[in-house]
Structure 1
Amino acid sequence: MHNQRRYPYVTIPPGASPLPNPSPLQAYPYEFDNAPSGDLLNPWDHTPTARHPNGRPGELRSRSRTQSAYEPVPPTISFPEPELHRFASQRATLHPYSPRHRYSKSDDGHGSLPPSTDDVASPPFTPVTPDSASFMHYLPEDDWEAPVNQLTRELSNVSLYSEEGLRRFQAGQLAEKDEEWHRLAPPEAQEALGKKEVERQSVLFELFKSERDYVEDLKLVTEVFIDPLKFANPPVIAPDKLRPFVHEVFWNLGQISVHHEHMLAALFERQLDQHPLVQSVTDIVLETCFQFQSEYESYIKHYPLAEERHRTELSRNKSYQAFMQKCSQDPRVRKRDMITFLSRPVTRLPRLHLILEHIQKITEPGHPDLEDLPLLLNILSDFLKSTQPGIAAAENRVKYWNVCESLTMPKGEIIDLDWYNESRSLVYSGPVARRSKSEMDWHPWTDLFVALLDNYLLLTKEERRTGGILKRYVSSRPIPLEYLKLGSFDGQPESRKERCEEGGILDSLRAQYKPIYPFTIYHSADKLTRRYTLYAPTESAREKWRDALVEAKGIDDVRRDANKWFAPQLVDDGSFRSPGAYTPRGFGSKASGRVVNAVSFTAAGGKRLMVVGCATGIYVGSRGDINFRKILSYGNPSSIIVLQDFNKFIVHHENYLLAYSLDLLARVAMYQAPASSLDASMEKIAGGDGTVLFCSAGRIKQRMIVVYALKSFFQITVHALEACNFSELRRTPSRGSQGTILSFRPFGEPLYVPKDAYSVTPLAKTVAISTEKGIVIADPTNTARQMISVVPDFSGATSDTDMADLKTRCEDAKPLGLIRIESGEILVIYDALGCYITKHGVPSRKSGFIRWETTATSFAHRGSHVLLFSSEFIEIRSLSTGRLDQVIEGSDIRLLLHTNLKSHSADDTLLVAMRGTKDDKDGVSDKIIELVRTAEFSSMQTPMASAPVEGIWDEWDM
């Protein structure tokens, strides 16, 4: 029978003489001149032919596959140790193997037979040919392991001198040129193995070498960088920032290092056991791969952030620069920088994948590795693919930080882009051109860098300063995506004239024309002034901009819709109509007209009612009920106020300020009392002797106060009245007391204000009166010092350029009122901007200001937000930062609660009117919505968490 073994292919020339047994004390083997030809050179070496002369190998024992390198090795049978020290594989006797079994160290001592004194020794190296390998007759044709183990044992006889070199390699003590498999394997072994097996052993050796170097580099990170940085004296990084910095930069590098130290130990043990013919390391790598995946996933996804944190510190901290320079002088570092070491775990697994892939390609058919390697390669490949989205997200985060850190905002303006929100990202960025507005400009094109964030679009001009620092100046105010609208993206390309940068003088004068592709975007609140035509360098770039803008706006709409601070809830759409294009002639007398005011209250019995002021009068009805009843004929009332606790309903109509019984108003609306009873309860608060210009209500010094302004022939006076409870009312006949205020009493003295006053806001102890020149703070109860101050206080503007700029902007704007915020500051609301002042009225925050995206006509304060109302938008901003949190879009928007304060009412209802959805023969509808403050989902109680209701399951007998 011919030799049918499939692995490895080893061809020994016929008639090759046996090799002498080398001495471990010499670099080269020497001959035993006096040794008889029949003597046993190594009594522990047996061949199957010598052991079984009759050609029967005896019982073949079936054994399990190779155990893990991390599992304990089973006890082996002890044999007398020869004086010649060899590897474990060299001391093992030949075993009778079962088919397809892989030899490993765990097999030592199992299944071997005790040496026989009758055995005839075989030479140290026996040519494996059909004539000399007679033991092949006792094995199945597809079993390659027995000859491999025989060959490994025979090769070990000629490689005893390499054990010391192998140990020095593992310790890293060999010269770099000697760290190759062919330098540690004897020439006889290389000649005995086939060319492909030599290549395979060389690649396996490369795996050992690369793993050793990798572990050493991970150790160097701790020894050279981390520990010296922690214990530096003086500190390189501030002590309070050191721990977060080390964690951010080095992340979980220590955990990864532990896994690879264990794997390296197992690999070295396998190498010592089987060198120079290492059969497989797949089991070791596979087991480690299952263990380190979570640590690698965390590190790889975080790596871009770690690298950027290191680079940022390097550019800002000179002490850190010096520290890095000192670390680079360590000879073990070999002039590699920190980035190289930080990127080692990122590149290690792809490198390991390539090595294993190479091993698979050169492995002979029938080798067990061809079963395990594909599994290992698939695991590594799938894992690397799964980390790509995380890496992309982290890299996008780094790009986002780079853009944000390079921005230079317009001087004095407070722009909160919500930079530090973890959900923020850079969607797309790139260069575009814009045509200059000036016709006299010799350079009509301006190069811009446009960055599309997930919440803003930024148009900037780039400038590179000394030292390579890149600055991007915001050339136009950032456009929130809620206000961003897309125009044309299909315009014909235009030509941009450019000068030639190369060649001589004449060539530079020659014009070059390049096609550029226009697209248009604009701000929806300022369609004419803030309209931008930008030019992309290519058609594909224009398409990318369009796709990026559409996608960013779509995602932003969905995200904001799911995270509303104020949710619009429809109250009514159709009850109140104005004449429209489809309205028949004569309908005007039946229409309610445009809604101008509305307020809700709770009637006796707990029923919720709503008072609506329209062009034709004041209507009262239930919320959600289309049948509103007209109660009073005061058309277009300037203000309506409900004082629930004092049973008062106040109406400001034209020149008068009137009060009615709130209870009677509700009873008349529900047909429980005649309209005459409501007229009998009327009290005239002001009017007749002057014109009431405006009014408001609120709590001043813990009292409910109604403040109004009365214009006489020469001046304007502001009066404050305190609402009284029923027990405090004077017993005076109502009909005989026309002109006498029964339900209110004076609060302090009248205040004289400039003639240009137009609104008043009650504060905690004083009132704020808005005038054309500013906001006047006054105390009605302080007769000695009525006028406190005018805010903001710009007395320091002569010596402060920032304050002078703020003063100029405020003089061109119309003040609307004040809001006190939690920080102790006060936010002054203008129609076009807002600014912060201290409790003394002096501008704070370096005289910075916030520009609204729209021109506000009114505002309201709810919780931590200010709501700014214009005809088409409701802009909701954070009080403390000015950040734009939400935008509600509509048509003909009106704030129906003009008092700006919630304290006058029993609830926190905020009603808004806008153009409705109905336009038919009955007219155009006005839609009334309520803005309801939302709460975080996590903070809301679930039904199961609430207290059980007694008897709720009685019907179900539960």
Structure 2
Amino acid sequence: MRDVPIVSLESQEGLRLFQSNELPERDQEWHRLVPPEARNVLDRLEVTRQSIIFEIIKSERDYVNDLQLVKDVFIDPLINTAPVREKNLRGFVSEVFNNLDRIREHHRRMLGSLFARQRDQHPLIQSVADIILEASLLFVSEYEIYIKNYPFAEARHRTELKNNAKYQYFIEQCMHDPRIRKREFITFISRPVTRLPRLRLLLENSLKHTAPDHDDVKELPLILDILKQFVRSTEPGIAAAEDKVKFWELCESLTYHKGEIIDLDLYDESRSLVYAGPLARRYRPDPMVYSWADLHVALLDNYLLLLKPETRQGGTVRRSVVSRPIPLEYLRLASFSEPAEMRKEKVEEGGLFDRFRTRDIPMFPFTIYHASDRTHRRYTLYAANEAIRSKWNEYLVDAAGVRKVRQEANMWFAPHVINEGFFKSPESILHSSGSFTGRILSAAPLSSMGRSFVAVGCPAGVYVAARGEADYRHVLHCSNATELIALPEHNKFLVLSDSGLCSYPLDFIARIALGHSSVDLVESMKEIVIEPGETILCLRAGRIGHRRMILYVTKQIFQVTFQALEVVNPDASGSTRRNFTGLHSFRHFHESLTVRQDIYHLTVLHRNAGICMDKGIWIVDPTNLKAAGSESATIIPNFSGAESSPPLNTLRTRCASAKPLGLVHCEEDELLVVYDELGCYINHYGVPIRSSGYLRWESKATSFAHRGDHLLLFSFEFIEIRTLKTGKLVQVIESNDIRLVYKGLLSADNTILVAMKAHTGRGSVVDKIVELVETSELMTPRTASVSAAWEEWDM
């Protein structure tokens, strides 16, 4: 290279003005600061390279100035004027600006090095690659943090701008600063997102114009590789963050039907929006006419939402939920291959007469449905083309599969099969010959002689086996054993069958199961508690106060009767009721309670019992049933004043058409009334709370169980597991012919036994008995303040 003439003082002054950003914009070019005689000795390739190096330094200067403006014009005044609520101010600054200050300091140091190199070597800078390489090794980690957070920062700013008039005014005032030059706030906070890709382009251009024998030919590819890998690594993070922001915007726009309490678990960290887009649906407002409705359908990783297209109310986007959200555990796919159907639309463009014409647009249908309500919750949706329909099919299949895998890996209650294959029923009357136990009707865990057993009631009688053993022994020949109750502290085993309610010594039942005693011997020790002539609708055992109680309901022609027995030790009983053995094990309370309506279930409370009937749950004292029949009897929920309260009246109407199943402790001052189709929260006076809202189950429950903070609802095909506090659906177990056969007698008894149909084959239907084992950490005992809620009803 030929010698370059000495640069004039005028050029050095121009460089000083450039670095201090005092040079007019038109003069901020390399060739404007270099005398013609200096340019003329360089070849064209080097002139271009020097211009690019100058542009790199210039862009770095402007970048650092903009980052400083963010601090001077936005961050510092924001902290000083506090247009955002003070308790959230620091968090807001951290969310929106994140680690921008650390990025600014990195670039300030790099700019200082670039300026120093420029002053030393201007107008012919040998290289800046070493400076950029050293800095890039330090700042890429900070950029990764900032860029992946950027979508959240922008969304947080826009949300505050929309909802906070003070913040909106603050931003408007910032825009009046002349240094801003009419640029938007978003432009400034997005500068780090675009800086490194722009720097990469400049360096690539510099490399193209670098002589093959120059050192930059070796160093620049190192920098470009670092920046390339960085940009590639941040793209998934940016995409994920943008998807998260879109998901949050969707969540904030949702509006639900009034009254229903829906917890979609939207703000869990793992929640995501899988796919969303416009679809259509046909409906029939008139028997002779089909009409079309446009929908916005959103597929989350846990629910499918059918929404109306967005509307704006005061600048706020709203999307109404058209139909109840479908959990992916219940979502089923039907046809995705039906031929296109034509949708007539008016011609919007054209001449005057064209506007009265219609055109046919092909719409491609696919059908989905809810697994527990295949008829009423069946939806045929229409996509605009075959590609979109195929994409929906792909996303729905994948989302349902991923959801299933995650659920199976994170179960709150794990099904543990105790026995599968022993209990069989004939598939039809043609195969009725042979040894069959019949389907499982009841079950109970037993403890005796230091061992654990499982008893199972069937049409053929009662079978017992030690835990872990596959073969059960036939211990009692009573037919249709629909209820089994083990009372180890009283050495009692109660069986409700066609023979009535009978009591047997528990230890002898265990001995028969082990083959150490005979069935005839235990039959001779049977105590008849309730005669076989009485039709028993409900039977429940539990502890009420200090008493072990047996509660039951018998049916006559036009009425049903509620009665109670106390289980006592033989030497403590004052009962006049005797059987042929002369033992006194049960004491009758002489009063009974006659009810002139159906009774569905019985609930054991703290000091009282709940009788579940049409009007609600009747709270009674089993030891004083005469008082229970008075006008002051407590029936919950208490719907007093429903005529003047539309939400309460809606709740009353819904509850009137449902069957109450029982009552559960929830919060310290809340209780949950469980119906077969819904649930509602009440306070300790029985009055509905939470704005008279209600929970709706996905399947119609036949029974329920309560464990810790969870409610388990049992239907024919599904077990729903929900949180008590919000009703959030956390797990679904699917099977066939599900029956809750044991839910426990005491709070300390966590055993839940479920019978299910296992399979059909070789002329028989096989049942299995399953224990639901809680996998989460066991809850600590509830405090006295929780049970105080029951005390309000003297429970």
Q: What TM-score comes out, normalization by structure 1 length?
A: 0.78
Asked if 1:643 corresponds to 2:492, the answer is: no
Asked if 1:818 corresponds to 2:685, the answer is: no
Partner residue of 1:771?
Answer: 613
Asked if 1:172 corresponds to 2:14, the answer is: no
Deviation at 1:919, TM superposition (A): 1.7
Partner residue of 1:930?
Answer: 771
Asked if 1:884 corresponds to 2:725, the answer is: no
Match of 1:723 among 535, 550, 567: 567
Asked if 1:903 corresponds to 2:750, the answer is: no
CA distance in 2, matches of 1:713, 1:543: 60
CA contact (8 A) 1:694 1:758 kept: yes
CA distance in 2, matches of 1:506, 1:468: 37
CA distance in 1, matches of 2:142, 2:609: 62
Residues 230-277 of structure 1 deviation map (CA, whole Å, 9 limit, x = unaligned): 121xx3111111111111111111111111111111111111111110
Residues 733-780 of structure 1 deviation map (CA, whole Å, 9 limit, x = unaligned): 976566x7x223357954444442232101112111001121111223
CA distance in 2, matches of 1:909, 1:767: 22
**Aligned to 1:382, what secondary structure does the other structure show?**
helix
Q: Rate the CA distance shift 1:858–1:735 in 2: closer, same or farther, 3 A.
A: closer
Q: Rate the CA distance shift 1:501–1:569 in 2: closer, same or farther, 3 A.
A: same
Long gaps (5+) in structure 2: 781-795
Higher strand proportion (structure 1 or 2): 2
Partner residue of 1:215?
Answer: 64
Q: Rate the CA distance shift 1:841–1:431 in 2: closer, same or farther, 3 A.
A: same
Partner residue of 1:311?
Answer: 158
Deviation at 1:719, TM superposition (A): 2.9
Asked if 1:286 corresponds to 2:130, the answer is: no
Residues 281-327 of structure 1 deviation map (CA, whole Å, 9 limit, x = unaligned): 00111111111121111111111011101111111111110011011
Aligned residues: 776
Deviation at 1:585, TM superposition (A): 5.4
Partner residue of 1:487?
Answer: 334
Partner residue of 2:192?
Answer: 345
Partner residue of 1:796?
Answer: 641
Partner residue of 2:787?
Answer: none
CA distance in 2, matches of 1:933, 1:522: 30
Deviation at 1:204, TM superposition (A): 0.8
Asked if 1:833 corresponds to 2:678, the answer is: yes
Partner residue of 2:254?
Answer: 407
CA distance in 2, matches of 1:318, 1:332: 24
Partner residue of 2:464?
Answer: 620
Deviation at 1:434, TM superposition (A): 0.8
CA distance in 2, matches of 1:889, 1:865: 18
CA contact (8 A) 2:661 2:703 kept: yes
Partner residue of 2:455?
Answer: 611
CA distance in 2, matches of 1:454, 1:344: 33
Asked if 1:332 corresponds to 2:174, the answer is: no
Q: Rate the CA distance shift 1:726–1:329 in 2: closer, same or farther, 3 A.
A: farther
Map 1:841-860 to 2 at 5 A: 841-860=686-705
CA contact (8 A) 1:566 1:932 kept: yes
CA distance in 1, matches of 2:381, 2:296: 11
Match of 1:191 among 28, 40, 44: 40
Partner residue of 2:225?
Answer: 378
Partner residue of 1:661?
Answer: 505
CA contact (8 A) 1:655 1:690 kept: no
CA contact (8 A) 2:597 2:614 kept: no
Q: Rate the CA distance shift 1:466–1:908 in 2: closer, same or farther, 3 A.
A: closer
Map 1:119-268 to 2 at 5 A: 128=2, 151=3, 154-155=4-5, 157-232=6-81, 235-268=82-115
Residues 331-366 of structure 1 deviation map (CA, whole Å, 9 limit, x = unaligned): 111122221111111000001001101101111110
Q: Which has the larger radius of gyration?
A: 1
Deviation at 1:597, TM superposition (A): 0.4
CA distance in 2, matches of 1:762, 1:714: 26
CA distance in 2, matches of 1:172, 1:702: 88
Match of 2:527 among 683, 702, 706: 683
Deviation at 1:584, TM superposition (A): 4.3
Residues 762-817 of structure 1 deviation map (CA, whole Å, 9 limit, x = unaligned): 11121110011211112234578426411111112111111111111111111111
CA distance in 1, matches of 2:314, 2:524: 83
Deviation at 1:654, TM superposition (A): 4.4
CA distance in 2, matches of 1:441, 1:258: 72
Q: Rate the CA distance shift 1:585–1:701 in 2: closer, same or farther, 3 A.
A: closer
Partner residue of 2:604?
Answer: 762
Name which of structure 1's ranges 554-563 and 177-186 shifts more when overlaid on structure 2: 177-186
Partner residue of 2:496?
Answer: 652
**Aligned to 1:490, what secondary structure does the other structure show?**
coil
2:674 counterpart letter in structure 1: I
Deviation at 1:159, TM superposition (A): 2.8
Asked if 1:673 corresponds to 2:520, the answer is: no
Partner residue of 1:148?
Answer: none
Asked if 1:745 corresponds to 2:587, the answer is: yes
1:836 counterpart letter in structure 2: Y
**Aligned to 2:39, what secondary structure does the other structure show?**
helix
CA contact (8 A) 2:479 2:499 kept: no
CA distance in 1, matches of 2:498, 2:16: 103
Q: Rate the CA distance shift 1:466–1:564 in 2: closer, same or farther, 3 A.
A: closer
CA contact (8 A) 2:575 2:587 kept: no
Partner residue of 2:793?
Answer: none
Deviation at 1:924, TM superposition (A): 1.7
CA distance in 2, matches of 1:568, 1:335: 64
1:774 counterpart letter in structure 2: G
Long gaps (5+) in structure 1: 1-7, 9-127, 129-150, 940-958
CA distance in 2, matches of 1:583, 1:784: 53
CA distance in 1, matches of 2:590, 2:307: 55
Partner residue of 1:942?
Answer: none
Identical residues among aligned pairs (%): 51
CA distance in 2, matches of 1:217, 1:515: 52
Q: Rate the CA distance shift 1:397–1:279 in 2: closer, same or farther, 3 A.
A: same
**Aligned to 2:94, what secondary structure does the other structure show?**
helix
Deviation at 1:438, TM superposition (A): 3.2
CA distance in 1, matches of 2:737, 2:375: 19
Deviation at 1:655, TM superposition (A): 7.5
CA distance in 1, matches of 2:364, 2:558: 64
1:544 counterpart letter in structure 2: K
**Aligned to 2:259, what secondary structure does the other structure show?**
coil
1:212 counterpart letter in structure 2: R
1:536 counterpart letter in structure 2: A
CA distance in 1, matches of 2:124, 2:417: 81
Partner residue of 1:544?
Answer: 391
1:213 counterpart letter in structure 2: D
Q: Rate the CA distance shift 1:283–1:489 in 2: closer, same or farther, 3 A.
A: same
